[in-house]
Amino acid sequence: MTFDEVGLSEELLKAVTAAGYSEPTPIQAQAIPSVLSMRDVTGIAQTGTGKTAAFVLPMIDRLAQGRSKARMPRSLVIAPTRELAAQVAENFEKYGVNHKLTMALLIGGVSFGDQDKLLMQGVDVLIATPGRLIDQFERGKLLLTGVEMLVIDEADRMLDMGFIPDIEKICKLLPPRRQTLLFSATMPPEIARLAAQFQNDPKRIEVSRPAQTADTITQYKIPLKSNDHKARRTAIRRVIESRDVTNGIVFCNRKSEVDIVAKSLTKHGHDAAPIHGDLPQAYRTQTLDKFRNGELKLLVASDVAARGLDIPAVGHVFNYSPPPNSDDYVHRIGRTGRAGRTGESFTLVCPEDEKLWDAVVKRVQKSVEDFMPEGLAEELEALPSDGGRSSRSRGRRNDRNDRSERSERSDRTEKSAARESSNDKEKKQSRGSKKSRGDSELLPPAPAGPVVGLGDHVPAFLQRPI
């Protein structure tokens, strides 16, 4: 099948050809005709299969007719991260080159001024992260009653990772008669049931088994004997050095780990830079641009870079540890092996990670072979340990310390209370003894003779006749 057969307009076909594409991917071939027919669609396909174009192309075709109004976008695309939203915007610019459609990108970390100006001029396509979208609506800069199409990109992440209240709030602001599209690499049954409330009789398009990883990716596991962080950092460096890495992404579960691992790699001569949600947007954009352009070899990232980012030439993915959610593993390693290219993924696994790793293996339904760079096992054995204490054992030790401190504070409080109680008794006894000596020692002397209310002086206002 070619793009000529999916029902796109001539102007759009020219843009697709100019972008270098001639045949649609399976998700595009099935989703584009359904979107053009104005049906709700739930699209499930593994990463790197062109899901973004599957909704961008028909959306441009549908928006070609009509015009936008001030503060009232005609279509809305919601993305979980700033980077993914920016990538969707790039797709609209690339494929909409022959159309006079206007677009606004609402993401955090960018000043409101430029966004306000675009919204007041009126936009056909509004691409936003949930937080900034709600901010602009509450500021009165945006009306959503004119939205004809809603796209929730990376739907499982949007619904499963804390965006449920925001998505529900946004959907209540939209007109009930609209087209709703959901696209994701994974769609667990419980998330599918939750997503069903936003759609009306959706067509489910599933071109691959949920959570299936691309066959072009060779996966490896690096077994570690302990959760020693020095050993982890050493292992990740040795694995990187053992492969011919042109560029790669190192994924960490925590933002603090991202900074530490990036600093460690840089210290040992690797070209690496961190990216996570706490960094300024300008820095994140600059770092991603350098990585895309080949100016940066290693990107150390949290899961902010795991979803939907289209960086086709990534050759390797390294997991500092298995992700807490097995679906995230699919998205992480999906950054490599894209568009038919081959790629490799490596995951460090210590005994404490076995439950997480078992969930990953169960999810991908593949056996992952062990990998150990030459000399790494001996180096790890000789490496000075951090005491053999994992973060969990340190947490337990901290809990014990906390309990000990609380116990000591409790003892000190009880002793202090006992001393205060003793002092109170002494004070009460002292006051009782003073009272027993007579009130004359404690109170002023009583006046002699009868007491007159105001004395000899009566204010003039009291002497007025009523």
The CATH number for 186's domain is 3.40.50.300
pLDDT along the chain (466 residues), means of 10: 90 93 92 94 82 94 89 94 89 93 90 90 94 93 94 79 84 93 80 81 80 84 92 96 94 94 96 90 87 93 70 89 89 83 94 94 90 93 64 43 44 47 51 46 55 65 78
Residue 439 resides in a domain: no
Q: Looking at the structure, tell me whether residues 114 and 69 fall in a common domain.
A: yes
pLDDT for 279 equals 86
What local confidence, expressed as pLDDT, does residue 77 receive?
97
**Does residue 175 sit in the same domain as residue 244?**
no
Within 13 Å of residue 411, how many CA atoms lie on the same side as its CB? 5
394: left (phi over 0), alpha (psi -120 to 50) or beta: alpha
Query: Is 444 a domain residue?
Result: no
User: By CB neighbour count within 10 A (0-12 exposed, 13-18 middle, 19+ buried), where does 172 fall?
Assistant: exposed
Question: Could you tell me if 250 and 280 lie in one domain?
Answer: yes
Of 206, 226, 249, which closes a domain? 206
pLDDT of residue 382: 87
Please report the pLDDT score of residue 276 as a whole number.
Answer: 87
Q: Report if residue 447 sits inside a domain.
A: no
Both 232 and 195 in one domain: the answer is no
Q: Among residues 42, 41, 307, which one has the least CA distance to residue 191? A: 42
Write down the pLDDT at residue 306: 63
Its domain, for residue 96, covers 3-206
Q: What is the reported pLDDT for 282?
A: 84
Of 392, 420, 442, at which residue does a domain stop? 392
124 and 222 assigned to the same domain: no
| 239 and 184, same domain (yes or no) | no
Whether residue 448 is contained in a domain is answered as: no
Instruction: Write out the two tokens for 182.
Output: 């959901």
Do 175 and 261 sit in the same domain of this protein? Answer: no
Is position 278 within any domain? yes
pLDDT at 419: 52
Q: Residue 341: its pLDDT value, please? A: 84
- pLDDT value of position 395: 43
The structural domain count of the chain equals: 2
Q: What is the pLDDT of residue 451?
A: 54
CA distance readout (Å), 75 to 61, 79, 117, 152, 246: 12, 13, 18, 11, 39
Six token digits for residue 84: 């993914």
Start-end of H helices in 277-369: 281-292, 326-333, 354-364
| Nearby residues of 31 by Cβ (< 8 Å), 6 or more positions away | 41, 43, 54, 55, 58, 183, 205
Do both 255 and 170 map to the same domain?
no
372 and 277 in a single domain? The answer is: yes
Q: Is residue 463 part of a domain?
A: no
Is 161 domain-assigned?
yes
User: Are 249 and 324 contained in the same domain?
Assistant: yes
pLDDT of residue 403: 44
What is the SS3 assignment for 152?
A: strand
- How many angstroms separate the first and last alpha carbons of the chain? 106
Q: Are residues 191 and 221 in the same domain?
A: no
Domain boundary among the residues 392, 427, 446 is at 392
> Residue 465 domain-assigned?
no
Look at residue 211 in the predicted model and tell me its pLDDT: 57
Burial class (CB in 10 A: 0-12, 13-18, 19+), 309: buried
68, 94: one domain:
yes
